[in-house]
Amino acid sequence: LCVCYSGQCLMSSLIGGRSGNRGRCAQPCRKRYSLMEDDHILVRNKYLISPKDLNTIENLGDIVKAGVTSLKIEGRMKDPEYVAVVVSLYRKAIDSFYSTGKVQITEEDLHNLKQIFNRGFTKGFIFNASSKDFINHEKNNNAGVKCGRVVSVKGNKVRLKLDLPLNIGDGIYFAQANLGLTVTNLKKENDLIILEVSSPVSLHDEVYKTKDVLLEASVKDLELPKLPINGKLELFIGSRAKLTFVDDLNNKVTVISDFVVEPSINQTLDKERIKTQIGKLGNTPFVLKDLEIDGDDHIFVVMSGLNELRRKAVEALIKLRETYHQRENTFKYEYREVNKSTTNQELELAVYCETIDQYLAAKTCGVKRIYVDEDIIDLIHDDVYLVKRRINHEDKALPDRKIIVSDLGALYRSLNNHEEVVTNYNLNVVNSETINYLLTKNLSRITLSPELNELAYKNLRYSDKTKLEVIIYGNQEVMVTKYCLFNSLNGCRMCPRKNTKRYYLVDELNERFPVKMDKACKMHIYNSKNLVLAKEVLKLKEYGYRKFRVNLTFEDYQESLKVIKAYQSLIYDDDIRLIEDIINKYKENNNYTRGYFNRTIM
């Protein structure tokens, strides 16, 4: 279960270069963090943003009744045994609901679901789980199932009183000692068992079973379903043999033998023997449903030749099935060249503001294009752009004003209803296909993804860059979540909106990730380093980009003035001195980044 809203997490990407949007998340949410209030540690070294595992098996009836027709089960980085147990139990629960109107699962089913892997279970926000029930602060990996406790310790020998049976090969975990081991020997003593351990454990320590070899063995023996195929074998004297396989999707392959079919004087064609030979598909994903044999009667065929023919046909069919599932590009936009005069249109700096002080600084500097966060928009009556929250649950019309949308839902609702619509970086625009598609919606401007590097900016196959905006400064938001860290720890008494203190998540490298809450009670986590592009902006101008944005988040009035003036000098006058002063200040605290500009994303 992800703690962040899907498609809105840049934490793995900006910290380590592995993009969750490209399926390569390094799961930084599973690491330990401390919570800091200004310079004071409130909570030390806990799993503060590591969710429990989602388990809705008992609620599948409600999910089906709600109209859901497809379920997704996450099995990333899990063993095949995990997939087998979880999928089979959910399949059983769904089938029982459709046949009886009730989800019918046993205590043993629930136990097996917990035993195969769990970090603790939550029903998730779909069933109104609280933030306290959503996160496991103590453990980020398999919690197992409690199976007993330590009743005596003598040297390296430990006596356990068991609630569940143990077997050789099981994995167990001593909670207080933080010790995990595989059971390699078992001695029974009345109703106790004796184990040898490699590290000290404590009396009364609770013991958890993290691996059940009997459960895993029960699913390893499951027979995997095979795909039915039909075949046709052609055997004519003087010709090479032909074998055709056709699968259930009408994928068809034909292969030709290396040998030539020869006549036989003494024997006729044994069709049953040949069918048996071609049907020996072994460890392949196929099973032969039917084989048509066409050819002469009195022939001689070497069985090893038929085996090779079968092998070639299987390989060809597998390869064809792989290409069958490749996606076709349905976008047929043409790359449009534009006149040089168009690419030299007026440069423009936009400024995004989250506070009134930042807005006043932008006005003081004469910024013509100001983006204002939804939390403060009601305090401003000038002609500015409203930046809609990226997560919206309200079913009401959007305000009739210039608007920046951060999700596809808001984009859809804003079409044809607003004088000007801009898409925010949260739509993850990284290529010309997306740009071309979005511009068919009559957007005035598109903000590019922060995951682009210099090569991507340079090679972007959309030559009219006047409608593209690049973020060149700001605390980059890495995560937004419905889960509230503060509520999970101490109710709402610690809410950052109720005081002027600054809060941070601090990792093992002592990097500080600012945390804040918005008016809709969504938690926002920001990168530990500020994005500051300087000479890179000059390169972007060379590549044809003309629209740039500064994102102000935590800056006060004076800081906002300095940043805006520095970028006005850089963009309009190619003067890099003021922005280099800002960079030097950040360098003192190792507190700035160029983002992806000089990096490669994975």
Least confident of 177-186, 238-247, 322-331, 387-396: 322-331
pLDDT band for position 500 (cuts 50, 70, 90):
confident
pLDDT the model gives residue 265: 78
Q: Is residue 321 pLDDT above 70, yes or no?
A: yes
Burial readout 424-452 (b: 16 or more C-beta within 10 A, e: otherwise): bbbbbbbebbbbbebbeeebebbbbbbbb
b/e per residue 315-345 (b: at least 16 CB within 10 A): ebbeeebeeeeeeeeeeeeeeeeeeeeeeee
For residue 294, pLDDT beyond 70 = yes
| Pair type for strands 252-260 and 286-295 | unpaired
Tokens 């920046």 sit on residue: 404
This prediction's pTM: 0.84
Domains in the chain, start-ordered, CATH in brackets?
Answer: 56-117 (no CATH), 145-220 (2.40.30.20), 228-324 (no CATH), 347-482+522-593 (3.20.20.70)
Q: What percent of the chain has pLDDT over 70?
A: 95
Gap between the Cα atoms of 545 and 23, Å rounded: 29
Nearest to 29 by CA among 568, 360, 426, 483: 483
DSSP annotation of 547 reads E
The stretch 256-269 carries a mean pLDDT of: 86
Point out the least confidently predicted range of 229-233, 406-410, 507-511. 406-410
480-493 pLDDT, tens per residue? Answer: 999 999 999 988 88
pLDDT mean over 231-236: 96
pLDDT at position 153 is: 95
| Tokens (6 digits) for 177 | 């000692």
End-to-end CA distance of the chain: 21
